[in-house]
């Protein structure tokens, strides 16, 4: 049945994996420089991938730093910052629109 087919498939997969591992071992014994070349190639690819990721994050970081700087500049207008005990309420109420007049 289905269980037998699945088990047979898994057995064949294990045999195939074992075959390729044996060939890999033979290759590493006969041509160790080939294995080293493959490892170096994989490491280079990984470095390129990570470098691209770093550049992407740096771009996002620069964008958000600019956004924060723009916000900071907008909120730091010394002539408009009220002083005194009610300064916070005055500043908050300045942002509330005036009520509409009903006719």
The angle formed by the CA atoms of residues 31, 34 and 38, to the nearest 5 degrees, is: 155
Which of 24-28, 43-47, 71-75, 84-88 has the least mean pLDDT?
84-88
Q: What is the reported pLDDT for 73?
A: 85
Which of 89 and 48 is assigned the larger pLDDT? 48
Q: What is the reported pLDDT for 79?
A: 53
Q: Is 75 left (phi over 0), alpha (psi -120 to 50) or beta?
A: alpha
- Predicted confidence (pLDDT) per residue in 9-64, tens digit: 999 999 999 999 999 999 889 998 988 999 999 999 999 999 999 999 999 999 99
CB of 72 within 8 A of CB of 63? no
Residue 83 has pLDDT above 70, yes or no: no
**Reported confidence tier of residue 2, pLDDT bands at 50, 70, 90:** very high
Tell me, rounded to whole angstroms, the distance of Cα 45 from its chain centroid: 17
**Reported confidence tier of residue 76, pLDDT bands at 50, 70, 90:** confident
Q: What is the reported pLDDT for 81?
A: 55
Can you read off the two tokens belonging to residue 66? Answer: 């600019």
83 vs 65: CA distance, rounded Å = 29
34 vs 97: CA distance, rounded Å = 73
């Amino acid at each position: 049945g289905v269980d037998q087919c699945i088990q047979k498939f898994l057995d064949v997969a294990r045999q195939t994996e074992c075959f390729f591992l044996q060939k890999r071992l033979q290759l590493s014994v006969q041509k160790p420089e080939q294995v080293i070349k493959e490892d170096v190639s994989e490491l280079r690819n990984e470095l390129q991938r990570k470098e691209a990721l770093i550049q992407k994050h740096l771009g996002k970081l620069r964008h958000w730093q600019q956004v924060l700087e723009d916000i900071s500049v907008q909120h730091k207008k010394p002539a408009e910052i009220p002083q005194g005990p009610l300064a916070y309420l005055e500043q908050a109420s300045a942002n509330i629109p005036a009520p509409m007049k009903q006719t």
